[in-house]
Amino acid sequence: MPLRSTASFRGSVVIGNREYVYESKPERGFIYISLASDLVVDYLDQPPSVTFRWPDGRKGEHTFDALLTLRDATRVAVDVKPKKKITKTQILEVQRLIKEQVGTAFADIYLLRTEDHIHPDDVYDAQLLLRARRLACGASDALVAKIASGLHGWCRLRDLVAASGIGGAAFNAAVRLVGDGMLEVRDGARVSYECFVRRARA
């Protein structure tokens, strides 16, 4: 549970047997989205600090919020900041200096993410997908995938679940199929019983 105050939003989330620490609501959302993505194979929160030099020669030290490793082995160093703190923290200048001075010795890509990149619907879907994956069931997946393969056009997810005859297990299976890219959700809506899905186009 987050420890709230007027100045902070700190806490941790546990996925599998790992705990991930966050210090802001956007950072928490970024953790969920990253862990749900099939592009990310490792998420290191609070990686080792990086040393750099300011233009006037002063020594600087910076700790990124996350260091991601992607499926193709690309390493991505990420800062997650509220937009209102970008100027005050000089984060863009810090990242520029680290990229110039340290470069690929630490990461292949340097990114800044704000609340503009972390939509509540994406966070919700990521949490839903992570939960569904914890309840993985091969038989349910196979049954729902078979029904989905016969879809011609859009179908309300509620109707797809009803056609399976297995209730909530089918909903979780459909969520996993969405996460695996086998089902497509119309208009980027949140995944729910009321959203519309169809077979993903090749």
Read off the pLDDT of residues 161-189 as tens digits, 9 standing for 90 and up.
999 999 999 999 999 999 999 999 999 89
**DSSP-assigned states of every residue in 138-154:** HHHHHHHHHHHHT--S-
Together in a domain, 8 and 40 = yes
* CA–CA dist 122, 30 (Å, integer): 9
Query: Residue 48 belongs to what domain range?
Result: 3-117
Query: What's the whole-number mean pLDDT along residues 72-85?
Result: 96
Q: How far apart are CA 61 and CA 53, in angstroms?
A: 8
Number of domains in the chain: 2
Asked if 94 contacts 57 with a C-beta cutoff of 8 angstroms, the reply is no
Domain boundary residue, one of 91, 117, 143: 117
Read off the tokens for 76: 């991505």
Query: Residue 153's pLDDT band (boundaries 50, 70, 90)?
Result: very high
| 21 inside domain | yes
How much is the pLDDT for 9? Answer: 74
Residue 153 shares a structural domain with residue 108: no
Q: Are residues 74 and 157 in the same domain?
A: no
Closest CA to 23 of 13, 15, 33: 13
Q: Which comes out higher in pLDDT, residue 69 or 25? A: 69
pTM over 0.75: yes
Determine the Cα–Cα distance for residues 166 and 88; give it in Å rounded to an integer. 53
Give the residue-averaged pLDDT of 8-23.
Answer: 85
* 83 in a structural domain: yes
